[in-house]
Amino acid sequence: MNTNDNNQPMQESKQAVYQLYDAYGKDSLNHDDILIDCFKMRLNKSLLERIDFTTLAFISTEFIIDDELVRYQSDIICRFSIDNKSAVIYFIIELQSTPDRHMADRLDEYALLLTRKHKKGDQTKMRPFILPICMYNGQVAYPYSTYLYACVTSPDLAKEYGRLDGFELWDLTQHTIDELLQQGGKSGLFQALLKQGKCGEFLEVLQKVTPAYIQQLPRSHVRNSAVYIYHKSKPEQGAECLRLLSELIREKTVKEDVMSYADSLRYQGVEEGKQLGMKKGKQLGMKEGKQLGIEEGVTRGILQTAKNLLRQGVEMGTILLATGLQREQLLQLQEQRC
């Protein structure tokens, strides 16, 4: 866990908001069926016919540059065999909720690092085929070029002389909720929830899915979807969204987890932290002090919530989604309990 010189947590309350999108996206795409259904919805049909989906393997998303000791972290990297297992294809998926003018450059760098990693274990030393993908969920349609030539100092020359490498864009803003649910298979709910995450309105999504659809999804994915919905919903819609989701869930244990979890998190942790922060802010007697107190109180509330959920035996993935903490921070809290 990151701390300052006084050994106080440095986690800012805003980080939970920024990390929730990535955490939910990574957790969802790490389910085989959900990831494969994303591919089946979006990839070119001729490419799909060449992929052996039974050979899915997830690859470590961390790259370490030996000579520089620099760490690079991607979101999702996976590999499949193609052409009757005579070759492989890699996919690098980056989850993005804000436009990035340099996304093509970033994904190209990841692809080069992955190529280096692959060649170390491949006798042929041939470069593998890598398809970079950006799954984008923003307020507006993705505004920048997906081609690498747009990231160089002379884009006209790069474009003219063949530097056209780019990435595949999965822009959720270009699809309706109905399209995502109907065409996305098991990934439909995940994609629809990501799309609505920016505006915090999930009622329409939940009104369009059925108990049979929810029942086919992994249990942990349903729980984490509830966490995501609860924290990204507009305040006046959160309780209603969870009620609708609970009605869709047929499995008793999952249903109970969804409701009890939300209650304990909101009222036991974050709200207590806010009250503690407001009290400290008043004691400081100035506007800046009050705001600082609120933020520190929220942080303490989040940490206390994580401790409470650990004691209750809640899955680590669910706690990470709920609190926005990093995995290292949660592991450290877990060690403190031992």
DSSP classification of residue 102: T
Question: Which H or E run includes 91?
Answer: strand 87-96
- 196 exposure class (CB count in 10 Å sphere: 0-12, 13-18, 19+): buried
**244: number of Cβ within 10 Å:** 17
- Output the tens digit of pLDDT for each of the chain's 338 residues: 333 333 333 333 444 444 678 889 999 999 999 999 999 999 999 999 999 999 999 998 876 555 554 556 788 999 999 998 888 999 999 999 889 999 999 899 888 888 888 887 777 778 889 999 999 998 899 999 898 878 777 777 766 765 567 899 999 999 999 999 999 999 999 999 999 998 999 999 999 999 999 999 998 899 889 889 888 888 788 778 888 888 888 877 777 777 665 555 554 444 444 455 445 545 554 454 445 454 565 567 677 777 877 777 777 777 777 677 777 777 788 777 65
Distance CA 289, CA 295 (A): 10
Reported as a single tens digit per residue, the pLDDT across 27-73 is 999 999 999 999 999 999 999 999 999 999 999 887 655 555 455 67
Cβ–Cβ < 8 Å for 110, 90:
no
Cβ–Cβ < 8 Å for 93, 75:
yes
